[in-house]
Amino acid sequence: MIQTLPYTTLLRYVYNELPVSALPEVEEALQHDPELATACADLLLAQRTLEGLRCEPRPAVSARILEYSRTFPTGS
Amino acid sequence: MESMQLSDSALVTLYLAGQESAFALLLERHRSRTFTTILLIVRDEDVAEDLLQDAFIKAIHVLKSGRYNDEGKFGPWLCRIAHNLAIDAFRRGKRVPHLSLDGDGPLANSLAHSEEGADDALAREETHSRLRELIQELPPAQKEVLLMRHYGDLSFQEIADATGVSINTALGRMRYALINLRKKMAVNPPYYDSNLTLYDPTALRVQRIAS
Protein backbone atom coordinates (compact mmCIF):
# COMPACT_ATOMS: atom_id res chain seq x y z
CA MET A 1 0.00 0.00 0.00
CA ILE A 2 1.27 3.47 -0.81
CA GLN A 3 1.46 5.76 2.19
CA THR A 4 -0.87 8.71 1.94
CA LEU A 5 1.64 11.17 3.40
CA PRO A 6 5.35 11.71 2.82
CA TYR A 7 7.55 10.26 5.53
CA THR A 8 9.10 13.68 6.13
CA THR A 9 5.66 15.04 7.01
CA LEU A 10 5.19 12.17 9.42
CA LEU A 11 8.55 12.93 11.02
CA ARG A 12 7.62 16.54 11.53
CA TYR A 13 4.27 15.45 12.97
CA VAL A 14 5.86 13.10 15.49
CA TYR A 15 8.29 15.81 16.54
CA ASN A 16 5.49 18.37 16.85
CA GLU A 17 6.89 20.58 14.12
CA LEU A 18 3.90 20.76 11.81
CA PRO A 19 1.72 23.85 11.88
CA VAL A 20 -1.60 23.31 13.64
CA SER A 21 -3.40 23.77 10.35
CA ALA A 22 -1.67 20.67 8.95
CA LEU A 23 -2.58 18.35 11.82
CA PRO A 24 -6.12 17.36 10.77
CA GLU A 25 -4.88 16.07 7.42
CA VAL A 26 -2.22 13.94 9.10
CA GLU A 27 -4.58 12.56 11.72
CA GLU A 28 -7.19 11.78 9.10
CA ALA A 29 -4.57 9.91 7.10
CA LEU A 30 -3.44 7.98 10.17
CA GLN A 31 -6.95 6.75 10.77
CA HIS A 32 -7.34 5.40 7.24
CA ASP A 33 -3.84 4.23 6.37
CA PRO A 34 -2.66 1.31 8.55
CA GLU A 35 0.81 1.39 7.03
CA LEU A 36 1.19 5.04 7.88
CA ALA A 37 -0.11 4.43 11.40
CA THR A 38 2.43 1.66 11.86
CA ALA A 39 5.22 3.91 10.63
CA CYS A 40 4.02 6.59 13.05
CA ALA A 41 4.01 4.14 15.94
CA ASP A 42 7.51 3.01 15.00
CA LEU A 43 8.67 6.59 15.14
CA LEU A 44 7.06 7.20 18.51
CA LEU A 45 8.67 4.11 19.96
CA ALA A 46 12.05 5.09 18.57
CA GLN A 47 11.55 8.56 20.02
CA ARG A 48 10.73 7.15 23.44
CA THR A 49 13.66 4.77 23.36
CA LEU A 50 16.06 7.54 22.42
CA GLU A 51 14.69 9.72 25.19
CA GLY A 52 15.57 6.90 27.59
CA LEU A 53 19.24 7.40 26.82
CA ARG A 54 19.34 10.69 28.65
CA CYS A 55 22.02 10.92 31.30
CA GLU A 56 22.79 13.32 34.12
CA PRO A 57 26.19 14.62 35.12
CA ARG A 58 27.27 14.28 38.72
CA PRO A 59 25.78 16.92 41.04
CA ALA A 60 29.25 18.33 41.68
CA VAL A 61 29.44 19.43 38.05
CA SER A 62 26.32 21.54 38.38
CA ALA A 63 27.61 22.95 41.65
CA ARG A 64 30.84 24.02 39.98
CA ILE A 65 28.98 25.71 37.12
CA LEU A 66 26.75 27.60 39.54
CA GLU A 67 29.74 28.62 41.61
CA TYR A 68 31.47 29.92 38.49
CA SER A 69 28.43 31.98 37.62
CA ARG A 70 28.12 33.37 41.14
CA THR A 71 31.75 34.44 41.23
CA PHE A 72 31.94 35.72 37.69
CA PRO A 73 33.22 39.29 37.89
CA THR A 74 30.50 41.73 36.96
CA GLY A 75 31.24 44.29 34.32
CA SER A 76 33.81 42.11 32.55
CA MET B 1 9.08 33.63 41.56
CA GLU B 2 6.99 31.13 39.59
CA SER B 3 10.13 30.10 37.85
CA MET B 4 9.08 26.77 36.36
CA GLN B 5 6.59 28.55 34.13
CA LEU B 6 9.02 31.14 32.87
CA SER B 7 10.42 30.88 29.38
CA ASP B 8 14.12 30.56 28.76
CA SER B 9 14.07 34.08 27.44
CA ALA B 10 12.55 35.39 30.67
CA LEU B 11 15.08 33.46 32.74
CA VAL B 12 17.92 34.91 30.71
CA THR B 13 16.55 38.40 31.32
CA LEU B 14 16.30 37.75 35.06
CA TYR B 15 19.80 36.32 35.11
CA LEU B 16 21.18 39.37 33.37
CA ALA B 17 19.40 41.48 35.96
CA GLY B 18 21.37 39.70 38.66
CA GLN B 19 19.15 36.80 39.72
CA GLU B 20 21.44 33.81 39.99
CA SER B 21 18.46 31.57 40.73
CA ALA B 22 17.32 32.13 37.15
CA PHE B 23 20.56 30.69 35.88
CA ALA B 24 20.18 27.71 38.20
CA LEU B 25 16.85 27.02 36.54
CA LEU B 26 18.33 27.32 33.06
CA LEU B 27 21.02 24.87 34.09
CA GLU B 28 18.50 22.44 35.51
CA ARG B 29 16.33 22.71 32.42
CA HIS B 30 19.11 22.13 29.89
CA ARG B 31 21.73 20.13 31.77
CA SER B 32 20.54 16.64 30.87
CA ARG B 33 20.00 17.26 27.18
CA THR B 34 23.30 19.05 26.82
CA PHE B 35 25.22 16.44 28.76
CA THR B 36 23.68 13.57 26.80
CA THR B 37 24.52 15.24 23.51
CA ILE B 38 28.14 15.61 24.56
CA LEU B 39 28.38 12.13 26.04
CA LEU B 40 27.07 10.48 22.89
CA ILE B 41 29.79 12.22 20.90
CA VAL B 42 32.83 11.91 23.15
CA ARG B 43 31.82 8.64 24.87
CA ASP B 44 33.64 9.38 28.06
CA GLU B 45 31.86 10.55 31.19
CA ASP B 46 34.70 12.60 32.64
CA VAL B 47 35.40 14.35 29.34
CA ALA B 48 31.68 14.94 28.88
CA GLU B 49 31.41 16.53 32.31
CA ASP B 50 34.39 18.77 31.57
CA LEU B 51 32.86 19.81 28.27
CA LEU B 52 29.50 20.43 29.90
CA GLN B 53 31.22 22.85 32.26
CA ASP B 54 33.04 24.45 29.35
CA ALA B 55 29.79 24.90 27.45
CA PHE B 56 28.03 26.57 30.35
CA ILE B 57 31.07 28.69 31.17
CA LYS B 58 31.15 29.88 27.59
CA ALA B 59 27.45 30.66 27.84
CA ILE B 60 28.02 32.60 31.08
CA HIS B 61 30.74 34.67 29.44
CA VAL B 62 28.56 35.54 26.47
CA LEU B 63 25.54 36.30 28.64
CA LYS B 64 27.32 38.41 31.21
CA SER B 65 29.31 40.33 28.64
CA GLY B 66 26.08 41.42 26.99
CA ARG B 67 26.80 39.62 23.73
CA TYR B 68 23.87 37.19 23.89
CA ASN B 69 21.37 37.67 21.10
CA ASP B 70 19.71 34.49 20.12
CA GLU B 71 16.10 35.58 19.92
CA GLY B 72 15.05 33.64 22.96
CA LYS B 73 16.31 30.28 21.80
CA PHE B 74 18.66 29.56 24.64
CA GLY B 75 18.45 25.76 24.38
CA PRO B 76 19.39 25.44 20.70
CA TRP B 77 22.13 28.04 21.20
CA LEU B 78 23.59 26.15 24.13
CA CYS B 79 23.34 22.91 22.19
CA ARG B 80 25.34 24.35 19.33
CA ILE B 81 28.05 25.46 21.76
CA ALA B 82 28.13 22.01 23.37
CA HIS B 83 28.01 20.18 20.07
CA ASN B 84 30.92 22.19 18.68
CA LEU B 85 32.99 21.65 21.82
CA ALA B 86 32.25 17.92 21.74
CA ILE B 87 33.13 17.57 18.07
CA ASP B 88 36.39 19.47 18.65
CA ALA B 89 37.24 17.25 21.60
CA PHE B 90 36.36 14.11 19.66
CA ARG B 91 38.61 15.18 16.81
CA ARG B 92 41.43 15.83 19.23
CA GLY B 93 41.00 12.29 20.48
CA LYS B 94 39.93 13.21 23.99
CA ARG B 95 37.84 10.08 24.40
CA VAL B 96 37.93 6.45 25.25
CA PRO B 97 35.43 4.06 23.67
CA HIS B 98 33.92 2.92 26.89
CA LEU B 99 31.08 3.99 29.14
CA SER B 100 31.53 2.87 32.69
CA LEU B 101 28.78 1.76 35.02
CA ASP B 102 31.07 1.92 38.03
CA GLY B 103 30.97 4.48 40.76
CA ASP B 104 28.46 7.29 40.82
CA GLY B 105 28.64 8.33 37.20
CA PRO B 106 25.68 9.41 35.12
CA LEU B 107 24.76 5.93 33.97
CA ALA B 108 24.75 4.72 37.52
CA ASN B 109 22.59 7.71 38.34
CA SER B 110 20.05 6.74 35.75
CA LEU B 111 19.80 3.29 37.27
CA ALA B 112 19.60 4.60 40.78
CA HIS B 113 16.73 6.91 39.86
CA SER B 114 14.73 4.12 38.34
CA GLU B 115 11.78 2.73 40.23
CA GLU B 116 11.82 -0.58 38.39
CA GLY B 117 13.31 -3.84 39.63
CA ALA B 118 16.96 -4.67 39.32
CA ASP B 119 16.46 -7.15 36.46
CA ASP B 120 14.35 -4.68 34.49
CA ALA B 121 16.86 -1.94 35.14
CA LEU B 122 19.69 -4.12 33.90
CA ALA B 123 17.76 -5.14 30.79
CA ARG B 124 16.93 -1.52 30.12
CA GLU B 125 20.53 -0.47 30.57
CA GLU B 126 21.62 -3.29 28.26
CA THR B 127 19.32 -1.94 25.59
CA HIS B 128 20.48 1.60 26.15
CA SER B 129 24.11 0.57 26.10
CA ARG B 130 23.60 -1.24 22.80
CA LEU B 131 21.75 1.73 21.38
CA ARG B 132 24.56 4.09 22.37
CA GLU B 133 27.01 1.87 20.52
CA LEU B 134 24.77 1.81 17.45
CA ILE B 135 24.46 5.59 17.45
CA GLN B 136 28.26 5.76 17.28
CA GLU B 137 28.15 3.61 14.15
CA LEU B 138 25.83 5.95 12.26
CA PRO B 139 27.27 8.04 9.43
CA PRO B 140 28.37 11.40 10.95
CA ALA B 141 25.72 13.47 9.19
CA GLN B 142 22.92 11.19 10.41
CA LYS B 143 24.32 11.08 13.92
CA GLU B 144 24.59 14.85 13.99
CA VAL B 145 20.94 15.36 13.08
CA LEU B 146 19.76 12.73 15.54
CA LEU B 147 21.71 14.24 18.44
CA MET B 148 20.75 17.81 17.62
CA ARG B 149 17.08 16.97 17.29
CA HIS B 150 16.80 14.62 20.21
CA TYR B 151 19.08 16.02 22.83
CA GLY B 152 19.80 19.50 21.55
CA ASP B 153 16.18 20.51 21.19
CA LEU B 154 16.76 22.00 17.75
CA SER B 155 13.97 21.89 15.23
CA PHE B 156 14.66 20.35 11.84
CA GLN B 157 14.74 23.83 10.33
CA GLU B 158 17.26 24.97 12.95
CA ILE B 159 19.38 21.89 12.26
CA ALA B 160 19.20 22.63 8.55
CA ASP B 161 20.35 26.20 9.18
CA ALA B 162 23.12 25.12 11.54
CA THR B 163 24.49 22.48 9.18
CA GLY B 164 24.00 24.34 5.92
CA VAL B 165 21.54 21.96 4.29
CA SER B 166 17.89 22.11 3.31
CA ILE B 167 15.22 21.03 5.75
CA ASN B 168 14.39 18.10 3.49
CA THR B 169 17.99 16.94 3.68
CA ALA B 170 17.91 17.21 7.48
CA LEU B 171 14.66 15.26 7.58
CA GLY B 172 16.07 12.67 5.21
CA ARG B 173 19.15 12.22 7.38
CA MET B 174 16.96 11.74 10.43
CA ARG B 175 14.88 9.22 8.57
CA TYR B 176 17.90 7.17 7.56
CA ALA B 177 19.38 7.45 11.03
CA LEU B 178 16.25 5.84 12.46
CA ILE B 179 16.12 3.24 9.69
CA ASN B 180 19.77 2.35 10.28
CA LEU B 181 19.30 2.09 14.03
CA ARG B 182 16.35 -0.19 13.50
CA LYS B 183 18.27 -2.42 11.13
CA LYS B 184 21.23 -2.61 13.47
CA MET B 185 19.04 -3.39 16.46
CA ALA B 186 17.38 -6.19 14.48
CA VAL B 187 20.71 -7.77 13.62
CA ASN B 188 21.84 -8.14 17.20
CA PRO B 189 19.09 -7.39 19.67
CA PRO B 190 19.85 -7.08 23.38
CA TYR B 191 17.50 -8.39 26.04
CA TYR B 192 14.24 -7.09 24.80
CA ASP B 193 11.85 -5.17 26.88
CA SER B 194 8.77 -4.69 24.74
CA ASN B 195 8.53 -1.12 25.96
CA LEU B 196 11.96 -0.34 24.62
CA THR B 197 12.17 -1.94 21.21
CA LEU B 198 11.76 0.00 18.03
CA TYR B 199 9.57 -2.73 16.61
CA ASP B 200 6.31 -3.20 18.43
CA PRO B 201 4.12 -0.35 17.28
CA THR B 202 0.75 -1.42 18.56
CA ALA B 203 0.89 0.14 21.99
CA LEU B 204 1.37 3.73 20.92
CA ARG B 205 -0.50 3.91 17.67
CA VAL B 206 -3.72 5.36 18.99
CA GLN B 207 -2.10 7.34 21.76
CA ARG B 208 -0.57 9.95 19.44
CA ILE B 209 -3.69 10.22 17.36
CA ALA B 210 -5.76 10.92 20.43
CA SER B 211 -3.39 13.43 21.98
User: Dihedral through CA B156, CA B158, CA B159, CA B160, nearest 10?
Assistant: 90
Encode pLDDT of A22-59 as tens digits. Answer: 999 999 999 888 888 888 988 888 888 888 888 899 99
Residue B141's alpha-carbon distances to A54, B138, B171, B175, in angstroms, are: 21, 8, 11, 12
pTM > 0.90: yes or no: no
Interface contact A41-B23, CB threshold 8 A:
no
- Provide the CATH topology of domain B116-196: Arc Repressor Mutant, subunit A (1.10.10)
Encode pLDDT of B20-67 as tens digits. Answer: 999 999 999 999 989 998 998 888 899 999 999 999 999 999 999 888
Interface contact B209-A37, CB threshold 8 A:
yes
- Return the residue in A25, A27, A49 with the most chain B beta carbons within 10 A, the one to mutate for interface testing: A49
Q: B171-206 b/e with 16+ CB inside 10 Å = b?
A: bbbbbbbbebbbebbeeeebeeeeebbbeebeebbe
Encode pLDDT of B57-105 as tens digits. Answer: 999 999 998 888 867 688 888 988 998 999 888 887 744 444 433 334 4
Task: Give the confidence band of B143 by pLDDT, cuts at 50, 70, 90.
Answer: very high
Question: Rounded to whole angstroms, how far apart are CA atoms A55 and A58?
Answer: 10
Interface contact B57-A68, CB threshold 8 A:
yes
Domain ranges of chain B: 1-95, 116-196
The count of CB pairs under 8 A between chains A and B is 138
Instruction: Answer yes or no: CATH 1.10.1740.10 is held by domain B1-95.
Output: yes
Q: Which pLDDT does position B23 carry in this prediction?
A: 96
Question: Rounded to whole angstroms, how far apart are CA atoms A56 and B39?
Answer: 10
Kindly report the number of other CB atoms within 10 A of residue B137's CB atom.
Answer: 11
Closest-approach residue (CA) in chain A for B99: A55
Question: Rounded to whole angstroms, how far apart are CA atoms B71 and B180?
Answer: 35
Residue type, A37: A
Cα dihedral B132, B138, B140, B146 sign? negative
Q: A41-61 b/e with 16+ CB inside 10 Å = b?
A: bbbbbbbebbeebbbbbbeeb
Q: Concatenate the DSSP letters of all residues of B130-149 into one string.
A: HHHHHHHHS-HHHHHHHHHH
- The CA distance from B32 to the nearest CA of chain A, in Å, is 5
Question: Rounded to whole angstroms, how far apart are CA atoms B126 and B132?
Answer: 10
Interface contact A64-B53, CB threshold 8 A:
yes
Closest-approach residue (CA) in chain A for B204: A41
Binding-face residues of A in 33-52 toward B, CB within 8 A:
37-38, 40-52
